Amino acid sequence: MNKLIGKIDKKVINLLNLDYKDEIPIYIGDDNIRHMKNRHLEDFNKYRKKY
């Protein structure tokens, strides 16, 4: 299951001159979380509250 972890807001979209009119959602999937637990445990533990 994909989980919403953030958004790229209009300020960043404009700054990077991206071709989007609305905010862009950022998702993380279960496979990505598993990878972080297995390969980047210290970072995962630091940021895990966001998931």
Encode 40-50: b = buried (16+ Cβ within 10 Å), e = exposed: eeeebeeeeee
* Overall residue count recorded for the chain in this entry: 51
pLDDT tens-digit series, residues 27-44: 999 999 999 999 999 998
Q: What is the mean pLDDT of the chain?
A: 91
Residue 50 has pLDDT above 80, yes or no: no
Domain boundaries defined on the chain: 3-50
pTM of the model as a whole: 0.65
5 contacts 24 by C-beta, under 8 angstroms: no
Q: Which pLDDT value is given to residue 14?
A: 95
Q: Of 31, 39, 37, whose CA–CA distance to 48 is shortest?
A: 37
* pLDDT, mean of residues 8-29: 94
45 pLDDT above the threshold of 60: yes
